[in-house]
Each structure stands twice: as C-alpha cells, then as structure tokens.
Structure 1
Amino acid sequence: MLNLRSPLGLLTKFSAQSSQRLIHSSAIRANQSGSLFGDITQVTESPKQKGDFSDSLQTVNEKFDINKVTIENDEKLQQYIGHKPTSAVDKLLTPLKKQLYQLNVNQNGFFKNNQIVTMDGEQYKLKLTQEEIDVLEPSLYVKSYRIKGSVKKATVFLRFIRNMNVKQAITQGQFHSKKIGREVSKLLSDSLKTAPELKLNPDQLYISQIWSGSDGTFVKRVDPKGRGRTGIIHHPYIHVRVILKTPVTLKRLAWEREQKEELRKPRVQLHDEKLRFKVEGHYKW
C-alpha cells in the first residue's frame, strides 16, 4: 500500500491493477455546481414546505404578520403549556357519580355527605371522604415562580391574609411593609383572570390555604470583611402556593359544625362513674 499526497489531502493506492483517478483542485474550480465528482452528481435544492413559519421570517418582500401565530392556534405551544383549566368534577368522577354529586349540590346548595338523592325514581346515597370533598368543591390552585425571600419572613404576611377575601388581600399586599406582599398581590391578581374560565365569581373567592416553601438551593456570594477575612452571603428563594375557594365551602363547613354540635353529648360535672373519694356531710369552704 502506497500513500500519495495531493492538493485535496491524503490519497491511498491499493495496487497497480486497480484503476486510480486523481482529483485536482482545478476540476472543482471549473465545476460551477461545486460537486466533487463533476457532472456525475447534480445538486438539487430541497423543496421548501409550504406555509413554514421560518420561511415567512426569511422572506424580504413579504411582510411578517405578528398575528399569524398566537397562543391559541399554536399546537406545540399548547402541548408545552398544558391543558386548559378544568373542574375536578369533570376530571375525576365517573358519569354516574357526577350526576349524583350535581343533584346533591343543586338540592342543598353544597354537598351533604350521606344524603339520599332521588334520580329516575330510584334513591341513591353518595359517600365521600373529607379529602375527596375538598378536592371536588369549586376551587382554584395557584402557584408562583421563584421569589427572592425567606420562608420565615413570608410566613408573617401569609398568616395575615389567610381566610381573607382575594381582593381585600390584594389591597393589603400592595401597601404592606414586606416585599413579599407585592409579589403575592401580583399572584392573586393573575388568579382572578383564570377564575372566569372555571365559571367562578372573582368577587366571592377567598383564600382557603396559602403556604410557602424553599425553592431550590440558595445562591451564595462572597462577603469580604476586614483583616483579610471573608464570609458567605446566602440568597434564599421561595415559592408560594394558594388554594382559593368559594362560599360553597363556607356553607358546608358551617353545616358540619352544626351536625357536630348536635351529636355532642351533654356536658355534666360528674360523669356516670363511681366516686373515688369519701363524701362528707358538710361543705368545706
């Protein structure tokens, strides 16, 4: 085997019997198509897809319409963002349980557990756990992005607005001394825009649950000090989660308190038990 040097690089000659064709750089200059093998290979341009979004950006004569691609008609963007907001009743319950649940709510104004409902001349009783009732009631779950702050400082404000009307909490957050107040007010303002999609009245929503937690690792920074010493400053980031509910939940909670009060035994000072001390015939003041 013999190696020969050419202007295009290293060529290998295997034997004297095999036919060899030397390639020169002058052939490439003469070839207008730019192909390495001359007229043997024809360069064809790949056909462009019609209606491609990238073509409309690269064309010079055609003006690009910014309304051509929107959030609603972009299928790939919709897959990345996720599904549209849907109620838990339509998502979790079977068709029969869904009908019984809606009949119970329409009859009582809220869901009463273990209540008999008549449908098509037959009586049914739907029993749900406390967790299932909380999930199925009209609610709105909202979560924030990373917020610079600490959980300890945020909890002071979050406890203050708990069980408060959403619009009243937004007003409190805008004028609060803590920075987390303005971030939470922005989060609650965005949640009011999503409420009509779930057929919820923004004026009647209240904060049922709100909490915060650490969001990832802390960002560290060098803190220079005197006499050649240094320290480390930790910048914490947190997230805020909110569950908003309607007056339907308040009606159910009030009804459950009444039922619990009715089932409570009467309070007596002396229980129905034997006395473990000696009863004397006179009082000791």
Structure 2
Amino acid sequence: MVLTFTRLPNTLNSFRNAIAFSNKVRFLATKPADSLFSDLTKSVDEKNKLNKNNNNNSVAVADENDAATIQYVSPENDSKLQEFLNPKPYLTINTLLTPLKREIYLANVSKNGFFKNNELTKLKDGNSYTLKLTNDQIQALEPSIYLRSWRIKASIKKTNIVLRALKDLPLKKAITQLHFMEKKVARDLVEMLERGVKDAEKMNYNVDDLYIAESWVHTDGSWVKRVDCKGRGRAGVLTFKWVSVRFLLKTKQTKNRLAYLANKRDSQKSVSSFITNGKIRGNAPGFYRW
C-alpha cells in the first residue's frame, strides 16, 4: 500500500512562516526603545524626553505671528473696554442746532445766564436775531449729567424715602447728607453721586453748580422668592428685592431759568376778587362790612 501526501509541502511552508513571524514579533516586543508599531509611532519615552528638553517643565508659549493664539490684554490697555466703560459725552449743542442757531443760543446764555425765548440777541458781527425753541429742546441743550446704578439690594419704598430727602439739593451737600444717613441704600447712592462728580470734571462742569434735578427708582423685575419655613408646619414666602436708581444732575443755568419762568407766571396772573362792578342794592353783603 502506497500513501501519497499531495498538500504536505504547502502545510510545511505555512508552518515555517508562522514560526518566523512569531520570532520576529518576539524580537520587536523585547526592544526597549521602540514599541510594537515602531515604524508608525514614537515611543512614550522619546516623547517625554522631547517635552522635557523643549518645555523644561513650563507652559509652552505660542508664536505671536500665529493667528490662532490668544494674547493677554490688560483692562487698562483694552480700547474697546475703556470706550464701553467711559463713553464720550453726547454734545447736544453741536448736534441739535445749526451753526447760526448755536451762536445765537450761546450769546443768549452768556447775556442772561440762561436761555430766554424770543429775546433779541446781538451777535459779534452786529446783526440781531431772535431764537425760539421748545421746552424739550431747551432741556436737551442745557448741561446735565445722567447717572444709572447697578442692581441695589433694597426695596422701592425704602429707597424713595432717601430720594425724597435729596430732592433739589446741591450735589456736594447731597453726598454729605448720605454719609450721615443710617439707611443701607445710602452707601450705594453715595458711590453713584461720586461718579457724577468725576463725570462733571471730565466734561468741564463746575461741580459747585450741580444739583439733583430728578431721581427715579424702579425694579428690574427679577426678584427671587424662597420658602420661609415656620413652626407648626406653616410656611411663608421670602422675597429678595432688587432695585435700580437713576439721577439727573443739572446746573444753576436750569435753576435760574425755572425761577425766571415762575416769576413770569406769577406776574401774569389775574387778581381774583369777589367785588363786582355792579350797583349795591339792598343790604350790603358780608364782604362789604369792614
């Protein structure tokens, strides 16, 4: 009997190749410097050595020319931030009036101390003009400072008590009064009015001429409510109130104009009398007996 193995050579070749591959893998895995995939990736030890040499255990600094880098800018050197925090004043005289009207307005104010409607004003060129403005235009042209607060931890009722005490007070006197008030909201209002003093210096206003013309207090509408736990299973509602305050500061120019208009209204009032021009008949009424 004769046995024939036709596929034996192929089986031996595949077995030999498998043994050679396993020896090669064992040799690669035992190499200390390289990994199993040394041709594709670098070892961890080499990466650590490179990082230690380049960075020296410090944070890497990006190149300034790289557009994706984020560079630190201090708040003092940030131009956009400074423009937002310190906006330029809105010059109403240059925007609301033409050059001729502006010259007439300034000449009228320098002559009377405030603006008078329909008054003949003589300019430097020798010509005389009259200028008529509405009440809203006059108020917009007069120098003023608008202050707006942040969120203040107080209620509208408590803040109104303080604001009524500051009505029509000079700015410096109002700051002094707030320093001696025992109300908690007075501390925040002092900081607001002190900002008004700095704004007046920037706009070249006389601080001694400023006074509090108007003030408002309102809520921002986002009050927080919490549960107020009480005894015997009862509960209430705690409301944390926040308000915002606004001031409008004006100068003596506005106060002098308002005083002039009040005197003018009083002088033009008709005198009321109960005595008639008719003849007296019969007994004289009571207002004739003196």
- Give the TM-score, by structure 1 length: 0.71
Assess if the C-alpha contact under 8 Å between 2:217 and 2:245 holds in 1.
yes
Assess if the C-alpha contact under 8 Å between 1:87 and 1:198 holds in 2.
no
CA change 1:27–1:122 in 2 (3 A) is farther
The match for 1:106 among 106, 110, 114 is: 110
Partner of 1:129: 134
> Does 2:64 match 1:48?
yes
Partner of 2:231: 226
Identity, in percent, stands at 37
The alpha carbon displacement at 1:96 in A equals 2.6
Partner of 1:86: 90
Separation in 2, partners of 1:282, 1:106: 57
Partner of 1:29: 41
Partner of 1:243: 248
Partner of 1:185: 190
Assess if the C-alpha contact under 8 Å between 1:104 and 1:110 holds in 2.
yes
Assess if the C-alpha contact under 8 Å between 1:162 and 1:209 holds in 2.
yes
The match for 1:139 among 133, 140, 144 is: 144
Separation in 2, partners of 1:97, 1:260: 27
Assess if the C-alpha contact under 8 Å between 1:110 and 1:252 holds in 2.
yes
Assess if the C-alpha contact under 8 Å between 1:147 and 1:239 holds in 2.
yes
Q: Which runs of 5+ in 1 are unaligned?
A: 1-23, 35-45, 58-67
2:112 maps to amino acid? N
The match for 1:214 among 186, 200, 219 is: 219
The match for 1:197 among 176, 195, 202 is: 202
User: As a proportion of its length, which structure holds more strand?
Assistant: 1
- Give the TM-score, by structure 2 length: 0.70
CA change 1:231–1:124 in 2 (3 A) is same
Separation in 2, partners of 1:243, 1:271: 48
The alpha carbon displacement at 1:240 in A equals 0.7
2:194 maps to amino acid? S
The alpha carbon displacement at 1:51 in A equals 11
What does the per-residue CA deviation read over 1:204-262, in whole Å, with 9 as the maximum and x for residues that have no partner?
21111112111231111221112333222111100111011111112111211222223
Assess if the C-alpha contact under 8 Å between 1:114 and 1:125 holds in 2.
yes
> Does 2:101 match 1:97?
yes
The alpha carbon displacement at 1:79 in A equals 4.6
CA change 1:183–1:78 in 2 (3 A) is closer
Q: Which runs of 5+ in 2 are unaligned?
A: 1-35, 48-61
Query: What's the secondary structure of 2:213's corresponding residue?
Result: strand
Separation in 2, partners of 1:232, 1:83: 41
The alpha carbon displacement at 1:146 in A equals 0.5
What does the per-residue CA deviation read over 1:253-282, in whole Å, with 9 as the maximum and x for residues that have no partner?
12112222232223322367x89xx94234
Assess if the C-alpha contact under 8 Å between 2:63 and 2:69 holds in 1.
no
User: As a proportion of its length, which structure holds more helix?
Assistant: 2
Separation in 2, partners of 1:282, 1:207: 54
